[in-house]
Structure 1
Amino acid sequence: MSDVDTGFTAAREAVSQAVSALALLEMPHRQGVGFVVSPSGLLVTNLHVVAGAEELSVLLADGRFLPVEHVIAFDEKRDLAVFQLPVKGVEALRPDAGVSPGEGAAVFILHPTPDSQLRLMETRVLAVQVLDETLTFLELDGALPEDASGSPVFDASGAWVGVATCAFADGRPVTIVIPSRYVLPLLEQPGQSPLSTLGQTRAAASRQRQVPVHSLALLEGCSPNTLEEVALALLQAIQLGAPLYNRGDPAACYQLYARTAAHLVQERADCPGVQNALRQGLERCAQLENMDARAWALRDAFDGLIQVIDRWLRAQAAFATRAAPRDYLQ
């Protein structure tokens, strides 16, 4: 990603208008980003940005600081939330349900920086990901800061095309775009719910990882081939399990991880340290009732093993390429 310095004049002109629709979200112990999509005061952000919030206030571009008390709608699968601001006649983006950008297309993300400046970032669509018939999203080339989730995304014509979302896939941060066509039906839902409704949603933003940090001694006696096979099995499980979790099925994700862990415990007697680390992960899961927590407990165990295996293999490669010491004693 880079600062915009291209010939996309329409996108730059659109952002000059979009700045007035951007909003900073204030919650106890955290902040977030959202934007207004209706002069009647409807505000959109990612659900994980506000999940579990007991209080929410919004700072608008015109300097008004407003309390938010009502949720219009939220969509856990697509990670979207819509709120009603207590004012009318506010500056807003124009929703566009047109065709989403395709692979290779330029897109632009408007987001605040840590020093309270605004930035328009240019990137491109790396892939169009279809999870199932109910969810298609855009994966972008590059990663956006996690606190920029909820920012608006524009195409090269300056049309608003979706919501920027920071996520994790295969252990790495990725930026995806939830298309605007999923937002529009939420804007039309009647009625309001109290802000306390957010307490029923999964507070992904506040999750604390507990990835174990292992000593290289854990892998004593293991061969390089064995460790490469273990790491591959763990990475393949993550590649299959992460999409299940991201589309709202943590139970299926956990079950896949648990089968992988149990198989390695049974089959890898040639690497006792790996067996013990995975047993500890499974034992931790047995103490947890929530499938979401179980999935993350095993993901933590997997990531801890992948990291120590990577360090071990790098150390072995360094030793193998190091020149033999010169014998000065004749």
Structure 2
Amino acid sequence: MLTADTDVSTARAVAARAAPSLAILEMPGRQGVGFVASPHGFLVTNLHVVAGAEEIHVLLADEQFLEVEEVVALDEKRDLAVLQLPTHGLEALRLDGAAHPGEGDVLFILLPAGGGMLGLMETRVHAVQVLDESLTFLELEAALPEDASGSPVLDASGAFVGVATCAFADGRPVTIVIPSRYVVPLLEQPGSRPLSALMLVRPAASRERQVPTHPISLLEGCATDGVEEIALAIMQAIQLGAPAYNRGDPETCYRLYERTAEQLLQERTDCPGAQAALREGLQRCTRLDDADSCAWALRDTFDGLLHVIDRWLQAQAAFARMSAPKSYLQ
């Protein structure tokens, strides 16, 4: 899982320092991953990994097999859970709440590799994503297996950077990192709740996206300026609507998307294919029961249009290069 240009000694050092903290979570009918984040027995994982669990047993790297009895902290917004193990003096990760990796930085994900072995996945930060004022996360280049959510992410020095999470965007899995600065406060102000608190959290279900795939011919006859203006209007709507949705306000998100679609229907008569796609998205909303579903229906519509617009613009640029006059050296 390491690239050819990886400094092997660095990778081995990272793995050696972090390996004792890795934990496998055993729950009825499923497994998960977490890590020890404090010698006091605090174990961190993604909330969706343990949501709804009636019992949790933890296998540590030193082969201790422990039963979780208490919940220390839950953060539904950032998909984090801290559990209390019934023992102290455990090997823990070196936490660094001030770590701020940037685009292109090399990171390592420590995860189980089967047969009692450990894996070290090397990757890079693809992008820093800001959802709103309360959540910024890292999007990684590597594809994380779904059952490895909750694994620790480390930098080249072995410092803890965040929690690896398998999420979904545009109907496809993406690997994100919930940064360490959201984890550290949960450890500094611990509480105590029974394990039954997890039963109140619904297990996360990946939403089935219905992003349409349009042929490039959808935009036949459209002017480049018009297509670019449609894309800009859609992107601006998403930039405003997505934070509203993430704050728990799907109604505002849906109404913003709806107004954008209706405005484009009125103004972009020069691009009937795009109008037809927007009209279909609005009609789909009339068959749905709530603002949450309607917000996603229009987001699917917008994403489908952005995808075909991107392909159309690339094709236009390629055609322009082919048609450009050529000059030859004599």
Q: TM-score range by the shorter chain?
A: 0.7 to 0.9
**Structure 1 partner of 2:87:** 88
Query: 2:261 is matched with which residue?
Result: 261
CA offsets, 1:43-72, max 9 Å, x none? 212234445666755444355666656533
Percent pairwise identity = 60
In structure 2, the residue matched to 1:233 is 233
- Rounded to whole Å, the distance in 1 between the matches of 2:8 and 2:196 is 43
Quick check: 1:169–1:242 contact (8 Å CA) kept in 2? no
Describe the SS at the equivalent of 2:37: strand
Does 1:145 find its partner at 2:144? yes
Distance in 1 (CA, whole Å) between partners of 2:237 and 2:140 is 24
Question: CA contact under 8 A between 1:96 and 1:181: conserved in structure 2?
Answer: no
Q: 1: distance between equivalents of 2:141 and 2:41?
A: 32
Query: CA separation of 1:22/1:248 partners in 2, compared to 1, >3 Å: closer, same or farther?
Result: farther
Is residue 2:126 matched to residue 1:120? no
Q: Distance in 2 between matches of 1:27 and 1:72?
A: 18
One-letter code aligned to 1:190: G
Q: Confirm or deny: 8 A CA contact 2:45 2:150 kept in the other structure.
A: yes
Superposed CA deviations along residues 117-160 of structure 1, whole A, max 9, x for unmatched, are 533234555776666664455x3662442524322122333222
- Preserved contact between residue 76 and residue 201 of structure 1 (Cα < 8 Å): no
CA distance, structure 1, for counterparts of residue 172 and residue 7 of structure 2: 29
Q: Please list, as runs of the form range in 1=range in 2, the aligned pairs for 1:1-330 lying within 5 A after superposition.
A: 2-3=2-3, 5-6=6-7, 9=10, 12-25=12-25, 31-51=31-51, 58-62=58-62, 70-85=70-85, 87-89=86-88, 91-97=90-96, 99-103=98-102, 106-112=106-112, 118-123=118-123, 134-137=134-137, 139=138, 142-145=141-144, 147=146, 148-167=148-167, 175-187=175-187, 188-195=189-196, 197=198, 199-201=200-202, 203=204, 205-214=205-214, 219=218, 222-225=221-224, 226-246=226-246, 249-310=249-310
1:269, distance to aligned residue in structure 2 (A): 2.8
Counterpart Cα distance in 2 of 1:292 and 1:238: 15
Q: Which stretch has the larger CA shift, 52-61 or 91-100?
A: 52-61
TM-aligned CA distance change 1:297 to 1:38, over 3 Å: same
- 1:76 to partner: Cα distance: 2.3
1:101 & 1:5 partners in 2: Cα distance? 21
Distance 1:312 1:117, change over 3 A: farther
- TM (norm. structure 2) is 0.72
| Distance change >3 Å, CA 207–CA 112, structure 1 → 2 | farther
Q: Is the 8 A contact 2:33 2:150 kept in 1?
A: yes
Amino acid at match of 2:43: L
State whether residues 224 and 313 of structure 1, in contact with CA within 8 Å, keep that contact through their aligned partners in structure 2.
no
Question: What is the match of residue 326 of structure 1?
Answer: none
Aligned residues of 1:93 and 1:160 also touching (Cα < 8 A): no
Aligned-partner Cα distance in 2 for 1:153–1:184: 14
Contact 2:170–2:303, Cα closer than 8 Å, also in 1: no
Instruction: Count the aligned residue pairs.
Output: 318
Specify whether residues 214 and 162 from structure 1 end up closer, same or farther in structure 2 by C-alpha distance, changes over 3 A only.
closer
The separation in 2 between residues aligned to 1:27 and 1:16, in whole angstroms, is: 27
Which shifted more, 140-149 or 74-83? 140-149
Query: Is contact 1:150-1:163 (8 Å) kept?
Result: yes
Query: Which amino acid is the alignment partner of residue 277 of structure 2?
Result: A
Whole-angstrom CA distance in 1 between matches of 2:314 and 2:128: 34
Cα distance in 2 between the residues matched to 1:186 and 1:168: 25
1:100 offset after TM fit, Å?
1.5
Aligned-CA RMSD value:
4.2
User: In 1, are the aligned partners of 2:164 and 2:177 still within 8 Å (CA)?
Assistant: yes
- Alpha-carbon distance between aligned partners in 1 of 2:206 and 2:128, rounded to the nearest angstrom: 28
